[in-house]
Amino acid sequence: MSKATLKSIPVQLGQVIDLKIESMAYDNSAIGRYKDFVIMVDRAAPGDEIKAEITSLRPNYARAKIVDLVRFDNLYRIEAECKIFKVCGGCQWQHLDYKKQLEQKDLLLKSFFSKLELEDGVLKNTIGMDDIWHYRNKVQYPVRTVKDTGRLKAGYFEWHSRDLINVKFCPIQNDIFDSIIETVRDLAPKYRITAYDGAEKRGWLRHICLRSGRNIKGDLEVLLTLVVVTEEMKNADEFTREIMKKHPEVVGICLNKNTNTTNVIYGDKTKVLAGRGFLFETLNGLIFKISATSFFQVNSKQAEKMLNIIDKYADLKGDEVVLDAYCGGGVIAISLAKNAKKVLGIEEIRQSIEDANYSAKQNKVTNFTFLNGKVENKIHDVLDEFNPDLVVLDPPRGGCNKKVIEDLLNFDVKKIIYTSCNPTTLARDLDLLSPKYKIKSIQPLDMFPHSYHVENVVLLERID
């Protein structure tokens, strides 16, 4: 940062200022203005009047922490359900009344999509949840070993930190996860399970991962996966037997080997120690196979609503060809298949393709073809050969590869449905599609209560 830029900033590191909070930011902070300069304050809420200490400086904003909450608006700020909310980085907005969470997400989306010059009524209000607790069907906890006791710490990292918070109770995840993770903690010293230390290159366990689902009978199923640096585990039979005896909901225990130094959680190879390496989840009467490392929405109840929105936007009559790019385990494709002539899916992860094929057969879907590969490498040939009437896009947080956008612009696809959990990359891609596609509707969906994240389902139609 240049000296000239520093001179233009009206605050200094360590300075304590009086501040009134105006709105939430797209992270764990809220926004106030000091002499027209943006100050982002961790764990603040609209209506707060605070004394804030400046903790970092940037050319266009500063970050701060609350040193004194002088006054607050009880329409916004509430007592967080979680006792470690102030330090845990797992969720960010638990101190906000839920109705206000939805309002703030609506305001953020209006800001993100402002450059698209949407017609009135195109951007809808965010659809919330009736029950905003215990909705997460997946957790992935990094671990540390406590040197004095040999017990494991497992939980989330503190916000803006690599300090691990030991989570014993998390109110946003399936409540059975807490007890299963506690059992793994209890058994760790007995089976000499130690956390992997990347700096010292020793230890074994990197993450404890849990997924849950409801099978077609409505019974709860849980899959436990330990992400480790080697597949070797002494007394594995005894370890798995103890866990599955104490927790009969656990239908499988897996080891996933990951020796990479990246922040990607899973490696390429998964070994089943006991039971099976997958579980079932039921959405809108359809049954889906979910393997340990496959992508699946973390909120099953809201996923059903998302599928209903997609079905409404698709408005299939029975003679259409549908392409589900980034199809994952085939949830959207299989859901649309009953009203389509043919459904196609493209997915890079082979295990997800295997799950999609399995689920299609379980649901007696026969009009499908799932292709394994990167979307940017496959989509041109698929568009050319099958000429789909509808393309569904559900890319990772980074959005669509530019080649995917280019291919869509070059082919006469009548309709696109784009679902995204990242409004930044979504707005970028919608702008790229805008020369040939009109945005007809954007329906936000709160897939992640108590966080700043929000899912969006967008309908685009080709401009004649």
What are the residue numbers of the active site? Answer: 421
Phi-psi region of 382 (alpha: psi -120 to 50; beta: other; left: phi over 0): alpha
Pairing of strands 152-157, 16-24: unpaired
Q: What angle do CA 111, 112, 118 make, to 5 degrees?
A: 80
- Rounded Cα distance between 66 and 151, Å, is 34
Strand-strand pairing, 61-71 and 415-420 = unpaired
Among 229, 121, 124, 139, which Cα is nearest to 176's? 139
Q: Rounded to an integer, what is the distance from CA 3 to the centroid of its chain?
A: 40
DSSP codes of every residue in 384-420: HHH--SEEEE---TT---HHHHHHHHHTT-SEEEEEE
**Cα 278 from Cα 356, distance rounded (Å):** 12
What are the residues whose beta carbons fall under 8 Å from the beta carbon of 16, sequence distance 6 or more? 51, 52, 53, 54, 67
CA distance 100 to 98: 5
Question: Half-sphere exposure (CA, 13 Å, Cβ side) for 70?
Answer: 10
Burial classification of residue 161, based on how many CB atoms lie within 10 Å of its CB (0-12 exposed, 13-18 middle, 19 or more buried): exposed
Tokens 């797992």 map to which residue? 90
In whole angstroms, give the CA distance from residue 361 to residue 370.
Answer: 12
